[in-house]
A and B are shown apart, each in its own frame.
Chain A
Amino acid sequence: MTPFRKHTGLVVPLDRVNVDTDQIIPKQFLKLLTREGYGKFLFYDWRYLDGEKPNPDFILNQPRYKGASILLARANFGCGSSREHAPWAVLDYGFRSIIAPSYADIFYNNCFKNGILPVTLPEEQVDELFRRVAEKEGYTLTVDLDSQTVTDASGLRFTFEIDSFRKECLLNGWDDIGLTLRFEDRIADYERRYPSQARQYGPLESR
């Protein structure tokens, strides 16, 4: 996983609450076998008109937000399904960080597994960022995980909370599984003490 330390980038505002994973990446793109290549399908139904023509009304298609790498969003972002295709698409499009007042649990968790930093800020501060990004073309923010701050060029500085373990993993780009395998003795010990088994006692239907 790519570590996340500090990132400065253009901000794009997505002013909708409860953006669900069916919007982030519609189901027709879940049939691939890879983790890459989902960026062009991000927000597909909003982003494209029939025949894959870009929808000029959709915010990501506006020229001033071309190349944005920080997604400013509203409450309960990423609700719905557990599909990790959603953060894969977010990352593949070029986003390194999301800023929102709240996230759905599974999506939030999935971001960390993919080197995306989901920043949680209070509603009023998110409102302020929406105001600033609307006012100033080319508005950029710097998200610094180490100091847990979001700053802009004109002196704005917000701090955010983040769990220390998640922070450590993201700063170092740690591979979860590698970490867990260091606990092999404990896992084996648990399995000896509490043997979980899924035995079959009765017949299954047969062909």
Chain B
Amino acid sequence: MQPLSMYDKIWASHVVAEEPGRPALIYIDRHLIHEITSPQAFAGLRSAGRKVRRADLTFAVMDHSVPTKNRNLPLLDQVAAAQFEALERNCREAGILLFNMHDPNQGIVHIIGPDLGITQPGLTIVCGDSHTSTHGAFGALAFGIGTAEVEHVLATQCLWQFRSKTMLILLNGRRRRGVTAKDLILATIGKIGVGGATGHVIEYAGEAIRDLSMEGRMTVCNMSIEAGGRAGMVAPDDTTFAYLEGRPFVPRGKEFQEAVERWKTVASDPGAHFDGVVEIDATQIAPQVTWGTNPGMVADVTGAVPDPATFTDPDMRHSAERALHYMGLEPGTRIQDISIDRVFIGSCTNARLEDLRLAASVLDGRKVAKTVKQALVVPGSERIKAQAEAEGLDRIFKAAGFEWRDAGCSMCIGMNDDVLPSGERCASTSNRNFEGRQGKGGRTHLVSPLMAAAAAIEGHFVDIRQWNVDHAE
């Protein structure tokens, strides 16, 4: 039999209807929705007199514009409040399980899916959100969709999909101490470019990926979209199964064992075909810091801001010039000489328990630099927040001078009060450094939680490898 890739297998097992020369109708196992990209979909259903087909496969959460401090106060943002109300009403009417902002299971949609065990290997998972690629870390086919497609899935539990091309990204060798999953993916995007995986579903493999915890694999898959990838996947293995066991939506006992046997068959067969293969030596990857206005504009922490004049491609040169202008940076500035105004530890990329532990290991017994105006840590979910508090991490953060908040997207996108002011520079563990992403005129540098914590202490970027901290992972 012809060897199949993980993508081929999941695709084949989800085709509902197929005609030559047309996209295939594929079945969707889990549909996650949030307040921003769903209201128009429900309105569309209503006006066409249609019903939600599988409320039992749909999960809803409020995350993008929720306040992260004091949720008991009345909402000042009336427009956001209307969206929350719409989601409440839509979910109540359709019978969809909703984690509202007061729910102890609430959190960022891509964090709670895995955390509650809703995300499992071999499934198709969609959400009206591009970072749905995160869930691929479990060996699921997970991708972001637009609102018209949200409506389509609500009505039919299916989607018309064209087959994607596949790309294997091999991260060979072991990563060095102080180098995290975030650095692996930033370095990868730096290498293949922000459009490097357009039209492709990525499978990540190699020793450096195998070695990662589930949290780390999620960080990597999360940013697949920043390379243009349709989805990112990692083959499920013992790390995956151990993570899933005991979570609320995961079968238990004998049923769990049966599920594991099924999940084991999801991985790509040896010799499976990929349309593209990229090999990267993970042993050579250093901690990364972005200097520009897309995640591909990235450098080693030991490096410097590049000179756009050295770029041969004229489009790249122009966009680098624009980026440096926006970022207020001069060519040749050493990355470690860039000082920062704020620090944000959070987002669906890096707000899981492991990320908080990493950051806390750096902050323990230290203080945020006086020059830093704000240091914010926003756990990815209320469950993670509670676990972190049980471990005493909140005390470490607060003692260092960080604000300890409730779960949500927060300053990753600045749709609530957590906005990066114009002209200020932020060390952020999120995934997008686009112009205005964290706030109009705000300047974002993407880094790992270790690097963000170290930058908070020093007030500028530092090479975490020089520090004598325990980065146990």
Contacts and interface: CB of A to CB of B under 8 A. Distances in A.
Nearest to B103: A207
A156 B123 CA distance: 48
A164 B21 contact: yes
Contacts of A191: 27, 157
Given A106-B144, A198-B118, A18 B86 contact: no
A207 B129 contact: no
Contacts of B294: 18, 20, 79
Interface string A14-57: 01111010110011101111110000000001000000000000
Interface stretch (A60-68, A108-116, A131-139, A142-150): A108-116
A206 B146 contact: no
A18 B433 CA distance: 13
Contact of B436 (A23, A177, A190, A194): A23
B423 interface: no
A205 B255 CA distance: 23
B56 A198 contact: yes
A187 interface: yes
A206 B248 CA distance: 12
Interface residues of A, number: 60
30 contacts: A16-B322, A20-B294, A20-B432, A20-B434, A22-B434, A27-B414, A31-B36, A31-B77, A31-B415, A76-B198, A80-B434, A81-B129, A82-B132, A87-B146, A106-B146, A109-B149, A113-B148, A164-B21, A176-B152, A177-B50, A180-B156, A183-B17, A183-B158, A187-B157, A196-B27, A196-B57, A198-B29, A198-B56, A205-B105, A207-B102
B405 to A, nearest CB: 18
Given A34-B43, A75-B195, A84-B147, 7 more contacts: A26-B440, A31-B415, A79-B195, A81-B130, A82-B146, A177-B156, A202-B246
Contacts of A124: none
Contact of B130 (A106, A177, A201): A106
B212 interface: no
Given A23-B436, A33-B83, A201 B250 contact: yes
A200 interface: yes
B228 A79 contact: yes
Nearest to A178: B48
A110 B80 CA distance: 24
Nearest to B316: A17
Interface of A: 15-18, 20, 22-23, 26-28, 30-35, 45, 74-76, 79-84, 87, 102, 104-106, 109-110, 113-114, 163-165, 176-177, 180-181, 183, 186-187, 190-191, 194, 196-207
Contact of B248 (A190, A202, A207): A202
Contacts of A27: 413-415, 437
Tell me if A's interface is mostly helix, strand, loop or mixed.
loop
B65 A31 contact: yes
A177 B50 CA distance: 10
A87 B147 CA distance: 11
Contacts of A83: 36-37, 146
Contacts of B65: 31
Interface string B250-264: 111001000000000
A201 B195 CA distance: 41
A45 B225 CA distance: 23
Given A22-B437, A82-B145, A199 B130 contact: no
Given A81-B130, A165-B21, A113 B146 contact: yes
Contacts of B437: 22, 27
B328 interface: no
A63 to B, nearest CB: 24
A162 to B, nearest CB: 12
B156 A181 contact: yes
A50 to B, nearest CB: 10
Nearest to A164: B21
A80 B198 contact: no
Nearest to B155: A177
A20 B48 CA distance: 32
B352 interface: no
A102 B195 CA distance: 9
Given A18-B319, A23-B434, A204-B105, A76 B415 contact: no
A105 B228 contact: yes
A190 B432 contact: no
B341 interface: no
Contacts of B128: 82, 84
B315 interface: yes
Contacts of A113: 146, 148-149
B404 interface: no
B10 to A, nearest CB: 12
A22 B83 contact: no
Interface in B89-120: 102-105, 116, 118
A206 B104 contact: yes
Contacts of B322: 16
Contacts of A17: 315-316, 318-319
Q: Which 6 A-B pairs have the closest CB atoms?
A: A113-B148, A205-B104, A110-B146, A84-B146, A82-B144, A84-B147
Contacts of B249: 198-202
Nearest to B296: A18
